[in-house]
Amino acid sequence: MRSAYLTEVRHFEVRQEGIPVLKDNEVLVKIAYCGICTLEQRLYTGERKIYYPIIPGHEASGIVVTVGSEVITGVQVHDHVALDLVNRCHACPACLSGNSNLCENRFKEGQRVLGAFSDYMVVKPDQLQVVPSDLPLESVAFAEPLACCIRSLRTVNASLGDTILISGVGTMGILHIKVALAMGLRVIACDIDLKRLEDAKRLGAIALDASSAETCIATIKKITRGRGVDSCIITTSSMSAVEVAVAVLASNGVMNIYTSYGNKPPLPLDMNTIHRHEFVVTGSEGRSEYDFYTATRVLANRTIVVDDLISQIYPLEEVSTAVEEALSGSSYRVLLKMEE
Ligand SMILES: [Zn+2]
Ligand SMILES: [Zn+2]
């Protein structure tokens, strides 16, 4: 089998190696597709480091090849699965309190991190969810990013009838829009890319050009009759997105900083305004097993359809070209396809 190792900044080596041997409590999965997320892009450019050499990849779908003799979950050979490749220790305070996305041991040394840019992977039974075999495996590879958006929407406590602002219409912005609309929210989406705004509008969002923050703020105020939005989610690291969000948040509003930043910019918001309006400012990072389970169900039920987010599919050998394409910023998700 082949695995794509990132051996240093901007350098992949596709190596031939033996299929991993599974333990009795593990499952061997033949990987079908793996999405290239921001994390993989940042590992490639060196903006983020975990260790070298590393096999990246955490948005994967596949088919079960072998099930260990001690696995009791009922998963079977030939099952189609979505993989949840974070490490959860199930024993730390974060895991025990239902916030396993923040597991204190998820990056602890000595364990495999990521790993799906490969033909095969051995996983624990709790790192997979079985999906219907007629759901395209390309779509199943979106279970992970979708789960992160589901968590993000849960974090702002949005409910039917609310208006939410989603800043940034990249892949994660579009997934947020899809989840928010499925939850019955009115969605205002902002970006400076007119083509992406068209896509947001087609989905049913009110799409606003954010190139002038002032005009954007005035339009949102008008749409909400001066009240502002009940919640907002920041999916772009552009600072003007946060300035708009701060200016249009209604009293009792919740702001979720979904995106990560290369630096540590301060929030452009004074403490007295937070006090007077009872604003809640939060972040959301990753997904718990509950979010992942929810994501696989909404994909399985076709409540949320994601095929329109697949921009390109490359074979594993062309991993460098694929990551460069993802980095170009002109596409939604770029996927890697392993061999049949
Ligand atoms: Zn991801
Ligand atoms: Zn833990």
Give the pLDDT confidence of 33-44 residue by residue, as tens digits.
999 999 999 999
The reported pLDDT for the residue numbered 112 is: 82
Q: How far is the CA of 99 from the centre of ligand 2 (A)?
A: 8
Question: How far is residue 317's CA from residue 14's CA, in Å, rounded to a whole number?
Answer: 7
Nearest bound ligand to the CA of residue 93: 2
- With 80 as the cut, is the pLDDT of residue 265 above it? yes
The reported pLDDT for the residue numbered 107 is: 85
Comparing C-alpha atoms, which of 334, 336, 329 is closest to residue 169?
329
The reported pLDDT for the residue numbered 155 is: 97
Q: How far is the CA of 217 from the centre of ligand 1 (A)?
A: 30
* Residue type for position 340: E
Residue 179, CA atoms < 13 Å, CB-side half-sphere? 32
Question: How far is residue 47's CA from residue 23's CA, in Å, rounded to a whole number?
Answer: 35
Nearest bound ligand to the CA of residue 96: 2
Q: How far is the CA of 160 from the centre of ligand 1 (A)?
A: 27
Place of tokens 């301060």: 266
**266 exposed, middle or buried (CB, 10 Å; 0-12, 13-18, 19+)?**
exposed
Nearest bound ligand to the CA of residue 111: 2
Q: How far is the CA of 38 from the centre of ligand 1 (A)?
A: 7
- pLDDT tens-place string over residues 75-106: 999 999 999 999 999 999 999 999 999 999 99
- pLDDT tens-place string over residues 272-309: 999 999 999 999 999 999 999 999 999 999 999 999 99
Q: How far is the CA of 35 from the centre of ligand 2 (A)?
A: 25
pLDDT classification of 313: cutoffs 50, 70, 90: very high
Q: How far is the CA of 90 from the centre of ligand 2 (A)?
A: 5
CATH assignment of 2-142+306-337, among 3.40.190.10, 3.90.180.10, 3.50.50.60, 3.40.1160.10: 3.90.180.10
Q: What DSSP element (H or E) covers 131?
A: strand 128-131
Helix or strand or coil: residue 248? helix
Average pLDDT, integer, range 239-266: 95
Place of tokens 């993000």: 152
Question: How far is residue 212's CA from residue 209's CA, in Å, rounded to a whole number?
Answer: 7
Average pLDDT, integer, range 145-167: 97
- With 90 as the cut, is the pLDDT of residue 195 above it? yes
The reported pLDDT for the residue numbered 38 is: 92
Domain 148-283 has CATH 3.40.190.10: no
The reported pLDDT for the residue numbered 242 is: 95
- pLDDT tens-place string over residues 96-154: 999 999 999 998 888 888 999 999 999 999 999 999 999 999 999 999 999 999 999 99
Nearest bound ligand to the CA of residue 83: 1
The reported pLDDT for the residue numbered 109 is: 81
- With 80 as the cut, is the pLDDT of residue 165 above it? yes
The answer to whether 250 touches 224, Cβ cutoff 8 Å, is yes
End-to-end CA distance of the chain: 12
Token pair of 295, please? 């994501």
> Can you say how many angstroms the Cα of residue 305 is from the centroid of all Cα atoms in its chain?
15
Nearest bound ligand to the CA of residue 114: 1
* Residue type for position 120: Y
- With 90 as the cut, is the pLDDT of residue 197 above it? yes
Average pLDDT, integer, range 160-167: 97
Question: How far is residue 295's CA from residue 179's CA, in Å, rounded to a whole number?
Answer: 10
Q: How far is the CA of 108 from the centre of ligand 2 (A)?
A: 10
- pLDDT tens-place string over residues 208-224: 999 999 999 999 999 99
Q: What percent of the chain has pLDDT over 90?
A: 94
Place of tokens 């005035």: 218
Q: How far is the CA of 136 from the centre of ligand 2 (A)?
A: 32
- Structural domain boundaries in the chain: 2-142+306-337, 148-283
Q: How far is the CA of 105 from the centre of ligand 2 (A)?
A: 5
Q: How far is the CA of 127 from the centre of ligand 2 (A)?
A: 14
Q: Average per-residue pLDDT in the chain? A: 96
The reported pLDDT for the residue numbered 110 is: 80
